[in-house]
Amino acid sequence: MSIRLKIEELREIVPSEVKIAAVSKFHSNDEIMEAYNAGQRIFGESRVQEVVQKQQELPKDIEWHFIGNLQRNKVKQIAPFVSLIHSMDSERLMREIEKQGSANNRAIPCLLQIHIADEDTKSGFSLEECRRFLSEGKWRECSHVKISGLMGMATFTEDEDKVRKEFDQLKLLFDEFKDAYFKKDPDFKEISMGMTGDYQLAIEAGSTIVRIGTLIFGDR
Ligand SMILES: *Cc1c(COP(=O)(O)O)cnc(C)c1O
Protein backbone atom coordinates (compact mmCIF):
# COMPACT_ATOMS: atom_id res chain seq x y z
CA MET A 1 0.00 0.00 0.00
CA SER A 2 1.27 3.50 -0.76
CA ILE A 3 2.37 5.96 1.90
CA ARG A 4 -0.56 8.18 0.93
CA LEU A 5 -3.07 5.39 1.51
CA LYS A 6 -1.46 4.46 4.81
CA ILE A 7 -1.80 8.02 6.00
CA GLU A 8 -5.38 8.31 4.82
CA GLU A 9 -6.24 5.07 6.57
CA LEU A 10 -4.56 6.17 9.77
CA ARG A 11 -6.43 9.47 9.76
CA GLU A 12 -9.69 7.55 9.77
CA ILE A 13 -8.65 5.60 12.85
CA VAL A 14 -6.99 8.37 14.84
CA PRO A 15 -9.42 10.94 16.32
CA SER A 16 -8.99 14.39 14.76
CA GLU A 17 -7.86 15.98 18.03
CA VAL A 18 -4.91 13.55 18.30
CA LYS A 19 -1.87 14.67 16.31
CA ILE A 20 0.08 12.21 14.20
CA ALA A 21 3.86 12.62 14.11
CA ALA A 22 5.05 10.61 11.10
CA VAL A 23 8.34 9.13 12.25
CA SER A 24 10.56 9.41 9.18
CA LYS A 25 13.95 8.46 10.64
CA PHE A 26 16.07 6.49 8.14
CA HIS A 27 13.55 7.23 5.38
CA SER A 28 14.33 9.27 2.28
CA ASN A 29 13.22 12.73 1.25
CA ASP A 30 11.13 11.15 -1.52
CA GLU A 31 9.22 9.08 1.01
CA ILE A 32 8.72 12.11 3.23
CA MET A 33 7.43 14.10 0.24
CA GLU A 34 4.93 11.38 -0.51
CA ALA A 35 3.55 11.82 3.00
CA TYR A 36 3.77 15.59 2.68
CA ASN A 37 1.77 15.51 -0.52
CA ALA A 38 -0.90 13.53 1.32
CA GLY A 39 -1.16 16.45 3.73
CA GLN A 40 1.15 15.28 6.50
CA ARG A 41 3.06 18.15 8.13
CA ILE A 42 4.46 16.79 11.41
CA PHE A 43 7.52 14.54 11.07
CA GLY A 44 9.50 12.91 13.86
CA GLU A 45 13.25 12.31 13.69
CA SER A 46 15.67 10.85 16.20
CA ARG A 47 19.10 11.85 14.92
CA VAL A 48 20.36 15.43 14.84
CA GLN A 49 22.44 15.24 11.69
CA GLU A 50 19.60 13.62 9.77
CA VAL A 51 16.94 16.12 10.82
CA VAL A 52 19.20 19.09 10.10
CA GLN A 53 19.83 17.87 6.58
CA LYS A 54 16.17 17.07 5.91
CA GLN A 55 15.08 20.42 7.29
CA GLN A 56 17.38 22.17 4.84
CA GLU A 57 16.18 20.17 1.86
CA LEU A 58 12.43 19.86 2.45
CA PRO A 59 9.51 22.34 2.55
CA LYS A 60 9.72 24.94 5.28
CA ASP A 61 6.20 24.41 6.58
CA ILE A 62 7.12 20.97 7.93
CA GLU A 63 7.05 20.79 11.73
CA TRP A 64 10.05 18.78 12.84
CA HIS A 65 9.67 16.92 16.13
CA PHE A 66 12.80 15.57 17.77
CA ILE A 67 11.98 12.25 19.43
CA GLY A 68 15.36 10.62 20.09
CA ASN A 69 17.96 10.78 22.78
CA LEU A 70 19.39 14.31 22.57
CA GLN A 71 23.01 15.08 23.40
CA ARG A 72 23.61 18.50 24.88
CA ASN A 73 26.34 19.41 22.43
CA LYS A 74 23.90 18.96 19.53
CA VAL A 75 20.99 21.07 20.77
CA LYS A 76 22.48 24.09 19.03
CA GLN A 77 21.94 22.54 15.60
CA ILE A 78 18.22 21.98 15.95
CA ALA A 79 17.37 24.99 18.13
CA PRO A 80 16.62 27.36 15.23
CA PHE A 81 13.83 25.25 13.75
CA VAL A 82 12.65 22.34 15.93
CA SER A 83 8.90 22.50 16.69
CA LEU A 84 8.87 20.13 19.64
CA ILE A 85 11.53 18.20 21.54
CA HIS A 86 9.88 15.06 22.97
CA SER A 87 12.92 13.91 24.89
CA MET A 88 13.93 16.42 27.55
CA ASP A 89 15.00 14.23 30.44
CA SER A 90 17.44 16.12 32.64
CA GLU A 91 18.11 19.49 34.15
CA ARG A 92 21.41 19.76 32.30
CA LEU A 93 19.68 19.21 28.98
CA MET A 94 17.08 21.81 29.94
CA ARG A 95 19.81 24.34 30.69
CA GLU A 96 21.34 23.81 27.27
CA ILE A 97 17.98 24.12 25.52
CA GLU A 98 17.44 27.33 27.49
CA LYS A 99 20.77 28.67 26.29
CA GLN A 100 20.13 27.83 22.65
CA GLY A 101 16.52 29.02 22.79
CA SER A 102 17.77 32.34 24.10
CA ALA A 103 20.43 32.56 21.38
CA ASN A 104 17.70 32.03 18.79
CA ASN A 105 15.25 34.36 20.46
CA ARG A 106 12.58 31.72 20.88
CA ALA A 107 10.99 29.54 23.51
CA ILE A 108 11.45 25.91 22.43
CA PRO A 109 8.50 23.61 23.18
CA CYS A 110 9.67 20.51 25.06
CA LEU A 111 8.10 17.44 26.61
CA LEU A 112 9.43 15.78 29.74
CA GLN A 113 10.32 12.24 28.80
CA ILE A 114 9.26 9.78 31.48
CA HIS A 115 10.55 6.26 31.88
CA ILE A 116 7.37 4.20 32.15
CA ALA A 117 8.55 0.91 30.64
CA ASP A 118 10.05 -2.06 32.40
CA GLU A 119 12.99 -2.04 30.04
CA ASP A 120 16.40 -0.75 30.99
CA THR A 121 17.16 2.36 29.01
CA LYS A 122 19.11 5.42 29.91
CA SER A 123 16.53 7.85 28.67
CA GLY A 124 13.68 9.39 30.61
CA PHE A 125 13.09 10.69 34.10
CA SER A 126 11.78 8.18 36.60
CA LEU A 127 8.48 9.31 38.09
CA GLU A 128 10.21 10.35 41.28
CA GLU A 129 13.00 12.18 39.48
CA CYS A 130 10.47 14.12 37.49
CA ARG A 131 8.44 15.03 40.57
CA ARG A 132 11.62 16.32 42.20
CA PHE A 133 12.62 18.19 39.05
CA LEU A 134 9.32 20.05 38.96
CA SER A 135 9.14 20.73 42.69
CA GLU A 136 12.68 22.16 42.74
CA GLY A 137 11.41 24.72 40.27
CA LYS A 138 14.58 25.52 38.34
CA TRP A 139 12.54 25.17 35.16
CA ARG A 140 10.78 28.39 36.09
CA GLU A 141 14.01 30.27 35.38
CA CYS A 142 14.10 28.93 31.84
CA SER A 143 11.89 31.23 29.85
CA HIS A 144 13.19 29.84 26.55
CA VAL A 145 12.03 26.31 27.37
CA LYS A 146 8.30 25.83 27.07
CA ILE A 147 7.32 22.69 28.96
CA SER A 148 4.35 21.43 26.97
CA GLY A 149 3.60 18.02 28.45
CA LEU A 150 4.96 14.51 28.81
CA MET A 151 6.29 11.76 26.58
CA GLY A 152 6.67 8.07 27.29
CA MET A 153 7.33 4.73 25.65
CA ALA A 154 5.63 1.57 26.84
CA THR A 155 7.36 -1.76 27.22
CA PHE A 156 7.74 -3.62 23.94
CA THR A 157 5.47 -6.59 24.67
CA GLU A 158 2.39 -8.42 23.48
CA ASP A 159 0.89 -8.01 26.93
CA GLU A 160 -1.77 -5.37 26.33
CA ASP A 161 -2.69 -5.04 29.99
CA LYS A 162 0.86 -4.14 30.83
CA VAL A 163 1.06 -1.56 28.06
CA ARG A 164 -2.30 -0.11 29.06
CA LYS A 165 -1.15 0.23 32.66
CA GLU A 166 1.98 2.08 31.62
CA PHE A 167 0.02 4.51 29.47
CA ASP A 168 -2.50 5.03 32.29
CA GLN A 169 0.40 5.81 34.58
CA LEU A 170 1.68 8.50 32.22
CA LYS A 171 -1.79 10.02 31.92
CA LEU A 172 -2.15 10.11 35.71
CA LEU A 173 1.23 11.77 36.03
CA PHE A 174 0.21 14.34 33.43
CA ASP A 175 -2.96 15.12 35.41
CA GLU A 176 -0.96 15.39 38.62
CA PHE A 177 1.53 17.85 37.11
CA LYS A 178 -1.14 19.82 35.30
CA ASP A 179 -2.96 20.31 38.57
CA ALA A 180 0.13 21.09 40.64
CA TYR A 181 2.14 23.30 38.28
CA PHE A 182 0.43 24.10 35.00
CA LYS A 183 -3.21 24.76 35.80
CA LYS A 184 -3.08 28.20 34.24
CA ASP A 185 -0.77 27.23 31.41
CA PRO A 186 -2.71 26.25 28.28
CA ASP A 187 0.54 25.17 26.61
CA PHE A 188 0.98 22.24 28.99
CA LYS A 189 -1.37 19.97 27.09
CA GLU A 190 0.46 17.18 25.28
CA ILE A 191 0.82 13.52 26.14
CA SER A 192 3.04 11.94 23.51
CA MET A 193 2.50 8.21 23.65
CA GLY A 194 1.79 5.43 21.19
CA MET A 195 3.78 3.99 18.28
CA THR A 196 2.94 1.57 15.45
CA GLY A 197 2.37 -1.38 17.77
CA ASP A 198 0.42 0.31 20.53
CA TYR A 199 -1.07 3.58 19.31
CA GLN A 200 -4.67 2.47 19.71
CA LEU A 201 -4.13 1.62 23.38
CA ALA A 202 -2.36 4.95 23.82
CA ILE A 203 -5.27 6.88 22.32
CA GLU A 204 -7.70 5.10 24.62
CA ALA A 205 -5.48 6.16 27.53
CA GLY A 206 -5.51 9.82 26.51
CA SER A 207 -2.63 10.33 24.08
CA THR A 208 -2.58 13.67 22.24
CA ILE A 209 0.34 12.86 19.92
CA VAL A 210 1.08 9.45 18.45
CA ARG A 211 4.52 8.84 16.93
CA ILE A 212 4.11 6.45 14.02
CA GLY A 213 6.86 5.23 11.73
CA THR A 214 6.63 1.65 10.51
CA LEU A 215 2.91 1.71 9.84
CA ILE A 216 3.31 4.68 7.47
CA PHE A 217 6.70 4.12 5.87
CA GLY A 218 7.28 0.38 6.25
CA ASP A 219 10.34 -1.22 7.80
CA ARG A 220 13.47 0.79 8.44
C1 LIG B 1 11.31 5.08 16.07
C2 LIG B 1 10.44 5.68 17.11
C3 LIG B 1 9.03 5.68 16.97
C4 LIG B 1 8.29 5.02 15.83
O5 LIG B 1 8.25 3.67 15.98
P6 LIG B 1 7.37 2.72 15.03
O7 LIG B 1 7.22 1.48 15.81
O8 LIG B 1 8.12 2.56 13.77
O9 LIG B 1 6.06 3.41 14.81
C10 LIG B 1 8.31 6.32 17.96
N11 LIG B 1 8.89 6.90 19.02
C12 LIG B 1 10.22 6.91 19.19
C13 LIG B 1 10.81 7.58 20.39
C14 LIG B 1 11.04 6.30 18.24
O15 LIG B 1 12.38 6.30 18.42
In tens digits, the chain (220 residues) has pLDDT values of 899 999 999 999 999 999 999 999 999 999 999 999 999 999 999 999 999 999 999 999 999 999 999 999 999 999 999 999 999 999 999 999 999 999 999 999 999 999 999 887 778 999 999 999 999 999 999 999 999 999 999 999 999 999 999 999 999 999 999 999 999 999 999 999 999 999 999 999 999 999 999 999 999 8
Q: Report the distance separating Cα 18 and Cα 170, nearest Å.
A: 16
Largest Cα–Cα separation, the chain: 50
State in Å: Cα 136 to ligand 1 middle.
31
Q: Report the distance separating Cα 208 and Cα 214, nearest Å.
A: 19
Other Cβ atoms closer than 10 A to 88:
27
Ligand 1 pocket test, candidate residues 43, 123, 209, 211, most atoms within 8 A of CB: 211
Domain positions in the chain = 3-217
Q: Report the distance separating Cα 78 and Cα 27, nearest Å.
A: 19
109, β-bridge pairs? 146
Q: Is 101 near ligand 1, meaning CB less than 6 Å away?
A: no
CATH code of domain 3-217: 3.20.20.10
Indicate yes or no: pTM above 0.95.
yes
Q: Note the pLDDT of residue 100.
A: 98
Q: Note the pLDDT of residue 98.
A: 98
